[in-house]
Chains A and B, each alone.
Chain A
């Protein structure tokens, strides 16, 4: 059959390899060198045709000629192309020496493209990739249920507490927690009754003085914000937390101060000290400003 007749049938009646989509008309035939459906690159309508195919990473040059058109099982002559691109080019040049220039050009283009994608494929294969796994919902739900039950059975708070108490008993914490609580309390009470007021007064004097200063500085503080505020926040945090847990037996502390700390007055004074520092800062700043 003449090529023209075939082409006429294919193009105007029906071709099972033809794929018409919005971007154009394409060909699905594996022997097609370009993938486009037109007269020059149709493998069916050209009795003299050549293409390159990929068999698991090995390229073969396929050629068909009009002489073998009547033998469908021997229609294609196939030549293995070497892996080297340039050598493959040479092989193509040798085999398609007197073929139409257009076809040779197209095949060389195809070879270039295919070598590129082969390189890319190899690269991707070597790359480490995350594997997507399924997460069976039933199992996860079951896990959650069991976990809830185990959590209840664990009685975490209780266990931790008992463990810590045991450590205390073993003496892991040394002298940190071995305060004579009773004596401590009695001393405190005594101080509250007799000694404390005097101390208080002394401290209060300081307090008033500094407090006044602070009052003067208030506007400036608002202006400055920044660092001193942060300090203040930290202190406050620490103290509120201490209040929550009634944090008396903190590590060793100098004895005289420790007794003060016990009472609220002590805390105030501690806080005040920080304020003093800050006020000094503010004072200097104000001076510079003035």
Chain B
């Protein structure tokens, strides 16, 4: 529509001035001259010319945008001066705020959820009945950044130990770990000398989560990094809101001891955003009172000192240490690792993530995929391909 209007507009308005009209008569090239459409750069065949026109158009657009922004700012300021309500700020449209409301999002008053929590596999660890003990191992050929990553992972996860993989099958290792009372098993898979997948198996019977690991940055590559202490870290799990997210969050939580040592001031973060789980490890966070607000306001108006004076802001400063990486859940399997006969609670599929860019609103992140989430006691004969509703029941 907008395009059509654009095209029409110049046609309706008599574009050329008087002398133009005169020229038209002289040349008698009416049909050509009347074409009102400003030539699109893509229609120009000469590359130099095309570039030029394109750049010009872009510049104009940018200027227009800046002008609008300035106007908006001025309007807001004027409103403040007049003591009126300032006009509403424009909020950019993001995937987060256009997301469809999801019925699987866990609510704090969900009794069913809590009952499920009490029944699930992580309960023993999370209720501090057992202390978590983690076994870390690798794929068969481990080299490159793998060993360094494992070293740092061991510093992140307290009470963890590394065992060389050798030629053992994973099932054998699971058995071994079960005998020695490990509560979870972490397998770092490397491909082309680069860690690329993480397998977390909850023991003895718990689910198996297969994560894709990417964007690994080791400690030595982080600027101004600190070295972690041996205190038990506290955990920040952000945005694990849906049922599936909740489950994965609990799984991750069960890797760490539940009685953090706050004096160590270590914090381990798993932040979920659009199904990517970002891992960060900070140490020495510190809270400070700062009056930086005053400074910023002083510039603007010294008259409103009474406002700015009293509030001292608590700010938090962090020093990063340890690795930095991103996880993406590929599969969640019921029971321990078994590729042949294993039952999958959830599998990442590409088409779940198709979000219509044109329609904007419908976004179904697999994280929110209700139907693919199985309750904790799946019956045996359910296959992944069965229709969703039947699988839920």
Contact = CB atoms under 8 A, between A and B. Distances in A.
A128 B169 contact: yes
Interface string B157-171: 000000000000111
Interface string A124-152: 00001010000000010001101101110
A177 interface: yes
B273 A164 contact: no
Given A159-B238, A177-B287, A153 B278 contact: no
Contact of A146 (B267, B274, B287, B288): B274
B94 interface: yes
Interface in A201-259: 237, 241, 244-247, 249, 251
Contact residue range for chain A? 35 or more
B176 interface: no
Contact of A241 (B226, B263, B267, B280): B226
B262 A159 contact: no
B236 interface: yes
A41 B262 CA distance: 83
B284 interface: yes
B311 to A, nearest CB: 14
A176 interface: yes
Given A156-B278, A251-B263, A245 B273 contact: no
Nearest to A149: B274
A71 interface: no
B280 A156 contact: yes
A247 to B, nearest CB: 7
A56 interface: no
B276 interface: yes
Contact of A147 (B284, B285, B326): B326
A115 to B, nearest CB: 26
A3 interface: no
Nearest to B269: A160
Given A164-B316, A241-B284, A244-B224, A181 B276 contact: no
Query: For B139, B224, B314, which residue has the most chain A Cβ atoms within 10 angstroms?
Result: B314
A286 interface: no
A149 B92 CA distance: 14
B271 A147 contact: no
Contacts of B280: 156, 160
Contacts of B276: 146-147, 150-151
B224 A147 contact: no
A161 B316 contact: yes
A154 interface: yes
A130 B262 contact: no
Contacts of B326: 147, 151
Q: Which of A144, A156, A249 has the most CB of B within 10 A?
A: A156
Contact of B286 (A174, A237, A245, A251): A245
A241 B262 CA distance: 18
B286 A172 contact: no
Contact of B318 (A139, A153, A157): A157
B289 A181 contact: yes
Contacts of A159: 238, 271
A168 B287 contact: yes
B269 A245 contact: no
A165 interface: yes
A29 B360 CA distance: 66
Given A143-B214, A163-B238, A174-B262, A153 B274 contact: yes
A99 interface: no
A158 to B, nearest CB: 10
Contacts of A153: 94-96, 273-274
A147 B318 contact: no
Contacts of B284: 241, 245, 247
B175 to A, nearest CB: 13
What is the interface of chain B mostly: helix, strand, loop, or mixed? strand
B173 to A, nearest CB: 11
Contacts of B214: 143-144, 147
A241 B170 CA distance: 41
A173 interface: yes
Contact of A143 (B95, B170, B314, B328): B328
A160 B263 contact: no
A59 B343 CA distance: 38
Interface in B212-242: 212, 214-215, 224, 226-227, 236, 238
Given A153-B95, A160-B267, A161-B318, A173 B238 contact: no
Contacts of A163: 236, 238
B287 A165 contact: yes
A168 B313 CA distance: 13
A149 B95 CA distance: 10
Interface in B305-342: 314-319, 326, 328
Nearest to A178: B287
Contacts of A245: 284, 286, 317, 319
A151 B273 contact: yes
A249 B278 CA distance: 30
B210 interface: no
A144 B323 CA distance: 18
B350 interface: yes
B247 interface: no
Contacts of A151: 273, 276, 278, 326
A176 B263 contact: yes
Given A147-B326, A241-B226, A241-B319, A156 B262 contact: no
A150 B363 CA distance: 14
B133 interface: no
B250 interface: no
Contact of A176 (B236, B262, B328, B350): B262
9 contacts: A128-B170, A130-B140, A149-B274, A154-B273, A156-B278, A165-B314, A168-B316, A245-B317, A247-B284
Interface of A: 128, 130, 139, 143-144, 146-147, 149-151, 153-154, 156-157, 159-161, 163-165, 168, 172-174, 176-177, 181, 237, 241, 244-247, 249, 251
What 5 A-B pairs come out closest when comparing CB atoms? A154-B273, A150-B274, A161-B316, A150-B273, A150-B276
